[in-house]
């Protein structure tokens, strides 16, 4: 059994992927070729915003978003400690300060009740994360941010395709960012990412930032990065997107099946999907009273599992300078100590699910 079965998907669309790559090889526009702009148009329409700016990775998407908001050294950006390091890493790269707030114990996403106390005169952005496939409570987060005049950047690396009160992820704030890392719900065959915004000026600025701050060729009015998505990756993503809506439905169905199969298993807590949310289950993540024992049991039956983010960011050496101690964010620490992700992909069979859940 595969933890994430990419081969089953490839089998369905291999011929189409090869045709699209062949067209790129024929026209030879490997950087900023027509497939890049086609993909941006397709994804912008899907999300429901005017602007999609593809880029080289989900990390670059977050970095470009912060740069577009002119985040400066000493500024503060509120985010969560229970996430992949990219979320806080990009803040630190700009010499700004990540300000952590704890997560909710059921969704594992940013706790809106904790935000207001973290806002200071130096707060320049709020960056919630849609962990494991569902959006954070963007309605409440946006309301708090709006009262203080603070922009919100949605880190939707894991929840692209999910909805919050009927609106797609990446269409919920000033800027939405996602990742096309191969294991993501919409993943390429290499690194990639995208940024979404309804704001014309921000979109123009991020397009400049993506190409070394270049407005017109050889003219660089601002500092940027080399953040372009390769044309071949865009071609692959275009073909993979033909399956994406049905795969999101399959992920939701498989998630519900897991919920049912695990409902009566002792010492396990299944993930909670908040009212008004849908999830694309980038991972199906449970809490286990004895995670190590459960993981070992699964491994003995050749069933893979993964414990993500076992050391929250506030306890990582990279952020030691912030001065945090164990106990500062107890919910994040509890989830980090007990979380376990089970096999998940749109092609996971019920037979395999039953084998996983036969505990």
Asked if 192 contacts 53 with a C-beta cutoff of 8 angstroms, the reply is no
Could you give the CA distance from residue 288 to residue 301 in angstroms, rounded to a whole number? 18
- Tell me which of 97, 168, 184, 240 is the catalytic residue: 184
Could you give the CA distance from residue 16 to residue 94 in angstroms, rounded to a whole number? 40
Closest CA to 122 of 76, 78, 168, 89: 76
DSSP letter string, 105-132 = TTT-SB-GGGHHHH--TTEEEE--B-GG
Annotated catalytic residue 184: yes
The answer for residues whose C-beta is within 8 angstroms of residue 40's C-beta and 6 or more apart is 52, 53, 54, 194
3-state SS class at 254: helix
3-state SS class at 306: strand
Find the helix or strand (DSSP H, E) in which 285 lies. Answer: strand 284-288
Asked if 195 contacts 169 with a C-beta cutoff of 8 angstroms, the reply is no
Question: What tokens appear for 1 in the block?
Answer: 């059994």
| Residues annotated catalytic, as ranges | 184
């Amino acid at each position: 059994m595969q933890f994430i079965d990419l081969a089953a998907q490839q089998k369905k669309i291999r011929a189409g992927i090869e045709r699209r790559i062949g067209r790129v090889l024929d026209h030879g526009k490997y950087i900023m070729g027509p497939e890049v702009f086609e993909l941006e148009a397709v994804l912008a329409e899907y999300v429901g915003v005017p602007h999609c700016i593809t880029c080289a990775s989900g990390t670059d998407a977050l970095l470009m978003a912060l740069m577009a908001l002119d985040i400066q050294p000493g500024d503060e950006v509120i985010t969560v400690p229970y996430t992949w390091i990219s979320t806080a890493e990009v803040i630190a790269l700009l010499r700004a300060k990540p300000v952590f707030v704890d997560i909710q114990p059921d969704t594992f996403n940013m706790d809106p009740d904790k935000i207001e106390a973290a806002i200071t005169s130096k707060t320049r952005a709020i960056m919630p994360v849609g962990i494991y496939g569902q959006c954070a409570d963007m309605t409440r987060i946006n309301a708090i941010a709006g009262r203080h005049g603070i922009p919100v950047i949605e880190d939707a690396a894991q929840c692209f395709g999910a909805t919050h009160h009927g609106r797609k992820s990446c269409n919920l704030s000033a800027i939405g960012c996602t990742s096309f890392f191969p294991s993501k719900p919409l993943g390429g065959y290499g690194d990639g990412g995208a940024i979404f915004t309804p704001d014309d000026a921000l979109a123009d600025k991020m397009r400049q930032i993506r190409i070394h701050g270049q407005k017109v060729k050889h003219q660089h009015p601002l500092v940027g990065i080399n953040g372009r998505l390769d044309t071949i990756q865009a071609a692959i993503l275009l073909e993979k997107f033909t399956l994406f809506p049905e795969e999101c439905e399959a992920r939701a169905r498989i998630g519900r099946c897991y919920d049912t199969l695990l409902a009566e298993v002792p010492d396990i807590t299944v993930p909670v999907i908040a009212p008004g949310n849908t999830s694309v289950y980038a991972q199906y993540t449970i809490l286990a009273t004895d995670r190590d024992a459960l993981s070992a049991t699964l491994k003995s039956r050749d069933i893979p599992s993964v414990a993500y983010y076992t050391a929250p960011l506030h306890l990582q050496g990279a952020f030691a300078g912030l001065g945090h101690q164990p106990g500062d964010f107890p919910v994040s620490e509890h989830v980090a100590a007990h979380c376990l992700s089970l096999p998940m992909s749109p092609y996971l069979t019920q037979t395999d699910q039953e084998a996983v859940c036969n505990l």
